Every structure is written in C-alpha cells, then in structure tokens.
Amino acid sequence: MGAIFVAEIRKVINPDRYDAYRQKARKIVETYGGRYLARGGQFATVVGGWNPEALVVIEFPSREALDKCFSSEEYRAIVVLREGSVEAGAVIAEVEDEKETESEVSKTAWQWNEMQQVGTDYGDISEIEAYEKRMGEFRDIDGENTAILELLNLPGGARIMEIGCGTGKFARMAAGKDYRVTAADISSMMLKYIGSRASVENLDIECVNAGFLGIPERDGEYDAVVSGAALHHLPDVWKTVAVEKIFRLLKPGGQFVVRDVFFDWKEEGHAEFFERFVAAFPESTRKAAARHAEREFSTHGWIMEEMLKRAGFTVLSNKEESFYFRQYHCRK
C-alpha cells in the first residue's frame, strides 16, 4: 500500500531559509523512495475558495517508507530550517493497491523489479562496516577509485552519478574532491551509512534510493556516470535498458565507466572456469563467489561491449583487470 504526503503552503515568511530547507529535503525524500508529484508550480482552484500559495505532493512506495523518511535523523536535522520560514499544513493519505485481473494488468507489470535484493542484503550498519572491511582484504578500493577519477579527468564542480554505490567509497572520494555527486543504491541501509559517513566527513552527497531502472529522469545532466560491481544484478535484457538510460543521463561528451564481473571462458570449459573463479577469492568469501556464479547475472564481455555500442557509446577502452573482472570506459 502506497502513501501520499500533501503539504499546503499558506505563506512563505523567509524565502531564503525555506529554499535551503527545500533543497535538503528533496535529497532526503528521494533517499527513502519518495517521488515529487508536485512541488510548487501552477495550479487552479476548481471548487470552493481554497487558494494556497503552493502545494507539495510526494508519493512514497509505502506508509512505512514515508514514516521512516520524516522520522529519520537527517530529516529531523533540517526541520529547524522549515520552522519559522513558512506557514503550512500537511496530510497523509494511504493509497490502496489496485487489484489486477487478467485483463487489467498495470502498465509496469512487465518491468523487472530491481528493488528485490539479488545479492546480499545488509540489515544494519555493523554488517555494512564488516562488508567494507572484507572488500578491503583483497581489493585496493581507494586505489581503484583514484584511478577512475584520474581516467575521467573532469573539471572541479562536474556532476557525477554513481549507480550501485554500496558503501559509497567512490562517491565520498569524489565529493571530497569538489565534484557534485549523486549516489544511487537500492539498499536504504547502504544510503543511511553513506549519509552518516558524509556527515562525519563534512561531504555533500545526494543519495537516491533507486537502481539503474528507477533513477529519476534527468536527461543530459551528468558529466559522468560510474558503476562498480552492480550491473550484474540485472538480467541482460534489463542491462540493455539500463545502459540506454545512462546514455540519456549524460551530457554530450559525457563519460561512462562500468567495472564488473564478466564471464569469458575460451579453451577451458565453463565448469573449469567457474571452479577457477571461486578459487580466486579468499576462503572467507568463496561461498559468496559461488553464489554469485549460481544466482546473479554476470554476462560475457562481448555481450557487454555490444550493448554499449548499440546504446550509442564509443568504447574508449576495455581493460581486463583479471580473468573475471574488467572495466569499460565509454564516451557519449
């Protein structure tokens, strides 16, 4: 059951203070899956004398998501900006899910549900911290992220989106170098962790609770999009849709860097390849590696390259970092 939040703005007392609140609130709302249906703009009174100065209407996937948003620490921290800057009232309405019959299928019933967790779902911050530590045991993550930023070679203030941001190591590094960063992930817990780290590190990062398919349509807004070890969560058909969307998000000349697991066996058979794949990981993570091969959607490198070209990208480089991991650098 979804939920709608409606705010009636009766009078703006302090425009600068209210604008600061609005900018910060949007980032928080989108972190919890909220979507703005109306935010000011023009409207017309149809019946009665109701004539608010502005309306704000936000759709949430559930009442639980709405409650988590407005009771979150990050939202409570900005309430002081709203208080005294605006006279307003608000209501919440729960929306009944439409019952579908065989002849009444919703328009998006065919779309892949990327919010379902394909990989491991982390339930609290301590699990995420442990995960980040495990990744550091066999990957030089800071070195990888530094190399990506050097490869992009963007001017200060450029806009970067990271999709499937995980713990936000790349997003945090980029924000620390004065880039304007948007971090997207389907895990609200991961985004909460990023928010807490960003607060400690005094970083400004926009967090969006979405995957490749659900990112807000902001065509032509980004100088670069980066994704590391996330695209394999989508089946190949939906990878194609995701790559096409990334192409639209980028400005002309914008860059896309995708790093992920790709399965390409040659002389050896698939069984030998997957045995070698699992054995390549530290013993503590081999069970997860086997589960990746069994259940997740890593594709062949030659399929990935064709997807990129068909979306309109020019592939600038295809770097094989190991027999199972490679990086594509592309330009729109």
The two three-digit tokens of residue 270, written as one number:
């698939």
* Integer Cα distance of 48 and 30 in angstroms: 33
The two three-digit tokens of residue 126, written as one number:
């301590």
pLDDT bracket for residue 101 (50, 70, 90): very low
DSSP label at residue 45: -
pLDDT for position 183 = 96
Position of tokens 């009771």? 71
pLDDT, one tens digit per residue, over 118-172 is 555 555 666 666 767 766 666 788 899 999 999 999 999 999 999 999 889 999 9
Residue 50 has pLDDT above 60, yes or no: yes
DSSP label at residue 1: -
The two three-digit tokens of residue 273, written as one number:
């390849």
CA of 147: how far to CAs of 73, 140, 255, 257, 303, in Å?
Answer: 34, 11, 14, 11, 25
**Domains in the chain, please, with CATH?**
2-95 (3.30.70.100), 125-331 (3.40.50.150)
Question: In sequence order, what DSSP letters do the residues of 216-261 get, joined into one string?
Answer: ---TT-EEEEEEES-GGGS-HHHHHHHHHHHHHHEEEEEEEEEEEE
Q: What pTM, to 2 d.p., does this model score? A: 0.68
Stretch among 16-20, 125-129, 219-223 having the lowest mean pLDDT = 125-129
The DSSP bridge partners found for residue 226 are 162, 257
Instruction: Specify which of 16-20, 123-127, 290-294 reaches the highest per-range mean pLDDT.
Output: 290-294
Question: In sequence order, what DSSP letters do the residues of 147-164 get, joined into one string?
Answer: HHHHHH-PPTT-EEEEES
Q: What mean pLDDT is predicted for residues 285-314? A: 95
pLDDT bracket for residue 279 (50, 70, 90): very high
- Higher-scoring residue by pLDDT: 133, 303: 303
- Higher-scoring residue by pLDDT: 93, 243: 243
Residue 90 has pLDDT above 80, yes or no: yes
pLDDT for position 125 = 62
Q: At what angle do helices 141-152 and 169-176 cross, to 10 degrees?
A: 50
pLDDT bracket for residue 100 (50, 70, 90): very low
Residue 278 has pLDDT above 90, yes or no: yes
Helix, strand, coil % over all residues of the chain, rounded to 5: 40, 25, 35
Stretch among 124-128, 220-224, 303-307 having the lowest mean pLDDT = 124-128
Residue 63 has pLDDT above 70, yes or no: yes
- pLDDT above 70 covers a percentage of the chain that reads 87
Extended beta strands in the chain, E state = 2-12, 35-39, 54-60, 86-95, 159-163, 180-185, 205-209, 222-228, 250-261, 314-320, 325-331
Residue 79 has pLDDT above 60, yes or no: yes
